[in-house]
Structure 1
Amino acid sequence: MQTNMNLFQLSDQESFAAGIDVPISAPSFALQKLENFTILFICQGNARLEVDFQRYDLQPRQVMKLLPNQFFQCLEVSVDFRVSYITFTPAIMHEITVRFDPSFFAFLKQYPLSPPLTADKAENHRHLLQAVYDIYMERTHTFRLPIFKNFLQNFLMEIYDKTKALFLHRNAANTSRQEELLEKFISFVFQHSGTQREVQFYADQLCITTRYLSSVIQHLTGHTPKELIDIRCIQEIKMQLRTTNKTMQEIAFELDFPDQSFFARYFKKHTGLTPVAYRAQKTEV
């Protein structure tokens, strides 16, 4: 029986994995930074997860999409909790979504959990997941990987179609360029926000002015670039505080803060707690 959330891991010999109606008997309380893409279909029961330190309550017929570099923790599961899943590498994701609008990935980051599917839609998902699982189990099939990619692309196209209906309501010509800029900005933030917290750095990476970057990001997300940078940086700090025994001085140095005092003020400004208080609170829990 599955006793933790190691379904996110891939062996060195595999670029994808799948499971059907897998029982999760106990949550994995260890906070982790994901390396692969995972799609979870909730078959039965309920669970509470944290993704990038935001809580989500899962129920049957929902689909959760998890991306590399997101912070994940399973907090609670019911005794009857079961999922079907597909886990695959970033290289596969890039190959099969090369023609998707960049806004699709921004949407996945912002809305990882879908509303519950209708019974008919849920049944369609089950059939597709079963087909993926069947080809996963055929280890000697000559065309195993291409068939998997085809199934996965069909699955993501279904999600993508709903994404366009929910998310892409803007003028296509201008928006396409802006959404591409948004995706690149978010990608840079995921890579560098631990140590780079100024908007100018990201504007330089994108070869645009800070004014134009701020205009585009606020228009598409409702947040300023600085707000998104700080949100991700705080997530990086929380990860360090909850998963390491590093001192405040060590964390401040590693994340390129001028000193420990500045680091503590920055964290308290965005969370209402000092780093020491946050670590103590999570240790007690």
Structure 2
Amino acid sequence: MKIKTVKPNDFERRYMSGIPAVFKTTHMPLQIFDIRETAGLISLPTPLYRPDYNFIVHLTHGHASQQVDAAVKHIGPHDVLFVKQGNVTALLETSDDVEGYVVVFEDSTLRHLLSKEKLIHLFSTGTVVTLPAETSHWLTPLFGLLTHELHQFSPDMAICYSLFQAALMKIIASDGGQHKSVTRSSEITFAFKELVYRHHVEQRAVSFYVDKLAVSVNYLNRCVQQTLGTAPKEWINKVNILHSQLLLQDFTKDIAAVAFELNYEDPGYFGRLFKKITHLTPSEYRASLVQSLS
């Protein structure tokens, strides 16, 4: 059984107390939402979820905290947060004065708008990019134009894609390391991460990913260690345990059932691995969820 993913229209049903008019575009491959219209409707903190889409958050005022995989990212004015499809994420907190935009987009949109090199750069330089104030102010009216066009009765998607492409290129250009060429190591690591997000439940052996990428075990180890600072096996385990946290939110399943669903034949081994990565046992993690809900 595969871990459930959250689509844009699932998010509104699960985590929002009301549905603003802007959510009429949730069937489209590119969407944009004004944070002022949506932030107050979201019940915080949201549970961990895995989005079936990519999104970026551009804040112009206030601050917010978002968990992305195991890390909590704090963002403020002029910051752009990137969350890739397949990440485990949760919106933890927003200030009352938060302003900005959330842009939601599918992988196919990215591949259409960016070269492979730009795509890898976008999602390998860091989850949060702090923009110069001038660049942040440049993006705000552009996102306003994108919002206006997308919410027309019959939006011109060519115009929408061009506006979003300009925004992405501006963000990439603001990163000091954007002129560095994409290395073979970062390319392999990017492809490895994509494969892990798709296959980690069924395939935890490094040999599977080595075969898919047509590289040696030593070379994959070197690439992933250089780029992520961890070994491939440790990364696979980390993704698995992060996703087990999604399943543990379903209190109708006991911990052994969650372990079996993730193809761990020994629940004891699953529990030890869970504690090694999260510093909590599965039972302690569940207790923390109950405390949060209360």
1:123 to 133, 137, 146: 137
2:76 to 56, 59, 80: 59
User: Aligned-pair RMSD on alpha carbons?
Assistant: 2.7
Looking at structure 1, the residues matched to 264 and 216 of structure 2 have their Cα atoms a distance apart, in angstroms, of 25
1:261 to 268, 275, 283: 268
Structure 1 residues 97 and 71, CA gap change in structure 2 (3 angstroms): same
Contact kept in structure 2, 1:16 and 1:87, CA below 8 Å: yes
Contact kept in structure 1, 2:33 and 2:101, CA below 8 Å: yes
Contact kept in structure 1, 2:63 and 2:77, CA below 8 Å: yes
In structure 1, the residue matched to 2:56 is 39
How far has the Cα of 1:196 moved from its partner? 2.6
Task: Tell me the amino acid that sits aligned with residue 181 of structure 1.
Answer: I
Looking at structure 2, the residues matched to 107 and 167 of structure 1 have their Cα atoms a distance apart, in angstroms, of 11
Structure 1 residues 49 and 27, CA gap change in structure 2 (3 angstroms): farther
Q: What's the TM-score once normalised by structure 1's chain length? A: 0.84
Looking at structure 2, the residues matched to 244 and 210 of structure 1 have their Cα atoms a distance apart, in angstroms, of 39
In structure 2, the residue matched to 1:232 is 239
- Deviations along 1:134-158, whole A, 9 cap, x unmatched? 21122324xx111111111111112
Looking at structure 2, the residues matched to 72 and 278 of structure 1 have their Cα atoms a distance apart, in angstroms, of 16
Contact kept in structure 2, 1:21 and 1:43, CA below 8 Å: no
SS at match of 2:135: helix
Is 1:275 the counterpart of 2:282? The answer is yes
- Runs of 5+ in structure 1 lacking a partner? none
Q: What's the TM-score once normalised by structure 2's chain length? A: 0.82
In structure 2, the residue matched to 1:147 is 159
Q: Percent identity?
A: 22
- Deviations along 1:226-258, whole A, 9 cap, x unmatched? 222222122111221134532112111111112
Task: Tell me the amino acid that sits aligned with residue 245 of structure 1.
Answer: T
Structure 1 residues 11 and 132, CA gap change in structure 2 (3 angstroms): closer
Contact kept in structure 2, 1:39 and 1:87, CA below 8 Å: yes
Contact kept in structure 1, 2:25 and 2:150, CA below 8 Å: no
Is 1:161 the counterpart of 2:173? The answer is yes
Equivalence map 1:45-124=2 (5 Å) = 45-101=62-118, 103-107=120-124, 111-115=126-130, 117-124=131-138
How far has the Cα of 1:82 moved from its partner? 2.5
Structure 1 residues 19 and 261, CA gap change in structure 2 (3 angstroms): closer
Contact kept in structure 2, 1:107 and 1:167, CA below 8 Å: no
Contact kept in structure 2, 1:21 and 1:84, CA below 8 Å: yes
Structure 1 residues 102 and 219, CA gap change in structure 2 (3 angstroms): farther
SS at match of 2:33: strand
Structure 1 residues 10 and 182, CA gap change in structure 2 (3 angstroms): farther
2:146 to 132, 138, 150: 132
Contact kept in structure 2, 1:43 and 1:83, CA below 8 Å: yes
In structure 2, the residue matched to 1:15 is 29
Aligned length in residues: 274
Task: Tell me the amino acid that sits aligned with residue 128 of structure 2.
Answer: L
- Runs of 5+ in structure 2 lacking a partner? 1-11
1:216 to 218, 223, 227: 223
Contact kept in structure 1, 2:111 and 2:119, CA below 8 Å: no
SS at match of 2:177: helix
1:30 to 47, 56, 59: 47
SS at match of 1:139: coil
Task: Tell me the amino acid that sits aligned with residue 256 of structure 1.
Answer: N
